[in-house]
Structure 1
Amino acid sequence: MNPLADILTPANIITALIVMNFSSFAAFGIDKALAEKRARRISEAALLNLAFFGGIGGAYAGREVFRHKTRKASFSNQLHMVAAVQLCALVFALIAFW
């Protein structure tokens, strides 16, 4: 069999998405706590990467729950762009593999 097909099972993909969303959510909470302490922060690039690699739902949830990065327009625009790219990729995948 194909080793890649053995790894990319629906169960493994779902597990990876759960882990990425939890990690993204937690990163927003941790960054908010660090901001309040005026300590060294998690970079915006790291937060956006977590969202890009499967944690977009956790990123949006973390923004709302922790009220973090909600007023910074440049970050919000980039996060919305990540969501739009993922939505387009999902639509393309559904059409291509239907």
Structure 2
Amino acid sequence: MFYLLILINLISFIIFGLDKKKSIKHQRRISENTLLGVSFIGGTAGAIAGMLIFRHKISKGSFLLKFGFVVMLQVVLILLFQKHFK
């Protein structure tokens, strides 16, 4: 499980970097749903690192709101999972 989380966070980081590169070159972008989806399935740390290092999506309020919702949903699911399998 640990290696899977490392992999998905690395992928998330790379996807945020690619989207930033595409935005600079005015190319077809990676959808916000894809960025949020990768974050949701475990790539939150990679997404945050990508957002900060590449300075990408950090000033877009609507995306940050959706991203915050994804993080809150993850926390709730983790807490429910822990409570159920305690």
**1:25 corresponds to 2:13:** yes
Measured in 1, the distance between the counterparts of 2:81 and 2:34 equals 26
Unpaired stretches in structure 1, ≥5 consecutive residues: 1-12
> Residues of 2 paired with 1:40 and 1:93: CA distance?
38
CA drift of 1:91 comes to 1.0
Give the aligned residue type for 1:16. Answer: L
The residue number in structure 1 matching 2:45 is 57
Deviation at 1:24, TM superposition (A): 0.5
Deviations 1:27-68 (A, max 9, x none): 111111111111111111110110011101111111001000
Superposed structure 1 runs of 4+ greater than 3 Å apart: none
Q: Tell me: higher relative CO, structure 1 or 2? Use CA pairs within 8 A at least 6 residues apart.
A: 2
Q: Which has the larger radius of gyration?
A: 1
* SS at 2:27 equivalent: coil
CA distance in 2, matches of 1:42, 1:74: 16
Q: What residue in structure 1 maps to residue 80 of structure 2?
A: 92
Calculate the TM-score normalised by the size of structure 1.
0.84
Aligned with 1:39 (options 18, 22, 27): 27
2:44 and 2:60 map into 1 onto residues whose CA distance is: 17
- Equivalent pairs: percent with the same residue? 40
Q: CA RMSD in A?
A: 0.8
